[in-house]
Amino acid sequence: MSPIKDVSDIRQMPTAREVPAAEEGPPPEPVEEKTPDDVTEDDVPDMNAVFRICFHFWEMQPIEIYGQLGYRTQVDAFTAMKTPRQAWEAWLTIKNIKQPKKE
């Protein structure tokens, strides 16, 4: 093969297809951010939800959460928290530690 001497011989790379413009619609409704007091029992079906919610509000890592609940390992916490009611109680415990009620 001979080297290319003239750049006009180089084929252009195909361009990406143009994406059709999205239809203009009404702007999305603003979503109100929940506070820890807005969390309901339905929001906390299991320990994974407890870990996610605690991280969301207070950036707590799982090791901090199960330590606050009195467990040595995450496996111990998961083993003990088998029902949604127990996960809800774990959430309430952490919430009360992080946000003590003002009297």
**Residue 68 maps to a domain:** yes
**Residue 67 maps to a domain:** yes
**Residue 103 maps to a domain:** yes
Q: Helices in the chain by DSSP H: which ranges?
A: 47-58, 62-68, 74-80, 84-98
**Residue 8 maps to a domain:** no
Per-residue pLDDT of 6-30, as tens digits, reads 555 555 555 556 555 566 777 777 7
**Residue 6 maps to a domain:** no
pLDDT computed for residue 81 by the predictor: 81
Pair 47, 83: CB distance under 8 Å: no
Question: How many separate domains does the chain show?
Answer: 1
Per-residue pLDDT of 32-81, as tens digits, reads 788 899 999 999 999 899 999 999 999 999 999 999 999 898 888 888 88
Q: Which domain holds residue 45?
A: 37-103
Q: What is the pTM of this model?
A: 0.65
**Residue 98 maps to a domain:** yes
At 80, list the tokens.
């003990």
**Residue 60 maps to a domain:** yes
pLDDT computed for residue 94 by the predictor: 94
pLDDT computed for residue 99 by the predictor: 86
**Residue 20 maps to a domain:** no
Pair 36, 96: CB distance under 8 Å: no
